[in-house]
Structure 1
Amino acid sequence: MFEFEDFPWFPNWLRDYGTDFLRAISDRADYYEHIIPIMNEVLERSNESTFIDIASGGGGGWEKILRRLIRSKPEVKVVLTDLYPNHAAFAKLESKFPEHVTRCAYPVDALEVPPCLRGVRTQFMSFHHFEAQDAQQILANAVAQCSPVLIVEAQERNVFNLLKFIALSPLSVWLVTPGIRPFKWRRILFTYLLPIVPAYLLWDGLVSVCRTYTLDELLDFAYRADPDQAYIWEVGKTESRLMPVCYLLGYPVENHSDSPSGTFKTSAP
């Protein structure tokens, strides 16, 4: 199965309209409220203060995440990266948090993150875009560079989520689009008069649900990516107001001496 936004030939302006919508809906829904303690935990355990966000899309969710993180960790920073950077969305978030957010102007491949990007690697609602071999390579690359990693998905692969998405996706696009900034007439044209944006978001969203990995699959990737058992790995699920949010957390054993090497566990905070 494929998602249109993954293809290099897909128009950048249309991909940006999609990531703009996903940013707007995630900011309104506040999916990641209960992930904040986990993000604080990984910063403390890894002695890091910077998140390297991989496959950032439109930077969705980071505005509310940062507002919460800054209260307890005013030194926290985020670097936004993507293979197809949404420069306008990155710049908007950077302008709101000039002391905390920076952006990569060049494309960053999630499978081969440049070693100069040091910090806790995060992926929000993007890990499912990668087939199993590539998903494992993403984790293996983090392990090879001793980078802590946090993978977050605000959905699960099941029939209920598919039906919910079919029912709500077009409606939410039509309701949210007028409030997306900056306002663009072409966005209005291709949302209401020629509904290309709702159609492509519906397709990509349905495929996303079908491609989302289970907690067991995430742990399996981690096990294969870390054959020397140099990391502590944890999977878990938190309950947001709208849907469950699943995560995979991994960090080097050397940064947390109280835990045995090669720890694999599940958690439900």
Structure 2
Amino acid sequence: MTPSRTWWPRLHLFELLDQRWYPAPLRDHCTNYLATIAQRMGIFDAVAPLLLRGLEAGGTDTVVDLGSGGGGPLPRLCDSLEREQGRRVRVLQSDLFPNEQARQRATATGAEYLEQPVDAMRVPAELRGMRTMFNALHHFRPEEARAVLADAQARGVPIGVFEVVERSPKGVISSLFIPLLVLAFTPMLRPLTLPRLFFTYAVPLLPLAIFWDGLVSTLRAHRPEELRRMTQSLTREGYTWEVGVAHKPGKPPVTYVLGLPASSTASNGRRG
């Protein structure tokens, strides 16, 4: 279980990926890197049972992923659900800044990536299914994060929000290794272009940019006790909220928020 101690207040410093002026090639590289890390390292493997619970509660086989960036871990998680549970899942990925390269990768994995921008605080009513967010809630200030959750509740659809970034000394120390990880994982990215190699190894602009955003992410992260207060303010009949930390051996702990329509009240989930 994550310690309840809050080491310092949440600091909403700027992340490069949030800036509209941030050059698209740099944005695409950063989101591609983050998606590759999530997929190759399986850092969200612990949440597969939570994803299944949300699908069952919503009576759906569709996942609407918000803030998808370069893609994320859903292809890996859906493969796991099909292999272990026999459950085939349709994946709709979306982002406020749609990514053409991510759309091509999504198509290659059997997912769909929407061309139009999607605001996670005001998701179009026609996008029905279980909503998910992976390492994206920290981009939102507390009142905005609450709006993301409230919008799902108002539509009566399940939502799962999952974060591996952690506002703690451990999280800050872990972020110091990000430049080394960028150097190690860049050869696995596709397409592997000369500019990408140049700005990674010759002029390390990309490792430094990803490091900055990673460090700021840990300072922005919402801690479990803050998320519990947030969801308690949303309590209403017919919809339940669960906040916890999911664990799997060999993988990092994942802080999660799971919102479930009334049909889920009989579910027995593990709380952290």
Compute the TM-score of the two structures, normalised by the length of structure 1.
Answer: 0.90
Corresponding position: 1:10 with 2:4: no
Structure 2 unpaired stretches of 5+? 1-12
- Determine the C-alpha separation between the residues in 2 that align with 1:20 and 1:108: 19
User: What is the correspondence of 1:49-198 to structure 2 with a 5 Å cutoff?
Assistant: 49-71=61-83, 72-97=85-110, 101-166=111-176, 168-198=177-207
Q: Partners in 1 of 2:259 and 2:265 — Cα distance? A: 14
Provide, for residues 131-170 of structure 1, a one-character-per-residue CA deviation record: whole Å limited to 9, x for no partner: 111101111111111121100001321011101211x111
Say yes or no: does 1:213 pair with 2:222.
yes
Q: Secondary structure at the match of 2:258?
A: strand
Q: 2:210 aligns with which of 198, 201, 205?
A: 201
In structure 2, what is the Cα distance between the partners aligned to 1:121 and 1:198?
31
Query: TM-score w.r.t. structure 2 length?
Result: 0.90
Equivalent residue letter for 1:221: M
Letter in 2 for 1:223: Q
Q: 1:256, CA displacement in angstroms?
A: 3.3
- Gaps of at least 5 residues in structure 1 are 260-264
**Higher RCO, Cα 8 Å, sep 6+:** 2
Matched residue count: 258
Contact 1:222–1:233 (8 Å) recurs in 2: yes
SS at match of 1:68: helix
Is the contact between residue 155 and residue 243 of structure 1 (CA under 8 Å) also seen in structure 2? no
The alignment-based identity, stated in percent, is 35
SS of the equivalent of 1:191 reads: helix
| Mapped pair 1:43 → 2:55 | yes
Match status 1:34 vs 2:42: no
Once the two structures are superposed, residues 33-65 of structure 1 have per-residue CA deviations (whole angstroms, 9 ceiling, x without a partner) of 221111111111221111100000111212211
Describe the SS at the equivalent of 1:267.
coil
| Residues 235, 241 of structure 2: 8 Å contact kept | no
**Is 1:267 matched with 2:271?**
yes
Q: What is the DSSP-based 3-state SS (H/G/I as helix, E as strand, rest coil) of the residue aligned with 2:47?
A: helix
CA RMSD of aligned residues (A): 1.8
